[in-house]
Amino acid sequence: MMISCQPLARLIEAFSKLPGIGPKSAQRLAYYLLHRPGEEAEALAEAILALKEKIGLCSICFNITDCDPCPICQDKERDHSKICVVERPSDIPPLERTGKYKGVYHVLHGAVSPAQGIGPEELKTRGLLSRLQDGSVTEVILATNPNLEGETTAMYLRRMILPLGVRITRLARGLPFGADLEYADDATLGQALEDRREF
């Protein structure tokens, strides 16, 4: 269908660039907004603008934030001698929800991926190493994903951090709850066996 109306066509095109939204859904969203009150459209537009204007990266941990340093880095109650290293900002909320971690974070914004040409220079690795220089940090928890890229990243960071004498730990890799031993892959099962604990 040809959309002859310019503003509508522009909005449909913008929507269809969003992940998971095809041309059909883009059209539906645009027509929906067309029939909503003006304030609703304004609120949406304002929220999108605020996202780009007010949100930046924390200069310490590189998490996304609307103030610098971010609330976690500013929090005096937290244990600043422990840094948990994650790939993405979206990895922090699930760790926070566990309520078991009181240290601070460092966001790499990706993982090493040799075949895609993503090396440590493309990530926030240098910022991490500089946080470890003054000796105030005693433990680095590597919480990169348990897949090839995450594992490569963790092994690389380990190599860089080891000479600094900081304790390095890695999240345990075990069987997910509800998993079936029979179908567990070798890597997971082997790791679960190695990391077994008193019961």
Interacting residues toward Zn ion by CB under 5 A: 58, 60-61, 63, 69-70, 73
Q: Which residues of 54-65 are buried (b: 16+ CB within 10 A; e: fewer)?
A: eeebbebbbbbb
CA distances in angstroms from 161 to 32, 120, 150, listed in the order given: 53, 13, 16
* Window contacting other proteins (CB under 8 A); options: 45-53, 56-64, 130-138, 177-185: 177-185
How near is the Cβ of 82 to other proteins at its closest, in Å? 24
Residues 141 and 170: beta-carbon distance below 8 Å: yes
Give the other-Cβ count within 10 Å of 105's Cβ.
Answer: 26
**150 CB contacts (<8 Å, ≥6 apart)?**
87, 111, 144
Longest dimension (CA), the chain: 70
- Contact flag: residue 21 with other proteins (CB under 8 A): no
- Contact flag: residue 159 with other proteins (CB under 8 A): yes
Q: Which of residues 102-141 bind other proteins (CB under 8 A)?
A: 112, 114-117, 119-120
Which residue lies nearer to other proteins by CB, 134 or 185?
185
From Zn ion, other proteins, none, interface partner of 58 (C-beta below 5 to 8 A by class) = Zn ion
Tell me which residues touch other proteins (CB under 8 A).
Answer: 20, 112, 114-117, 119-120, 147-148, 151-152, 155-156, 159-160, 176, 178-180, 183-188, 190
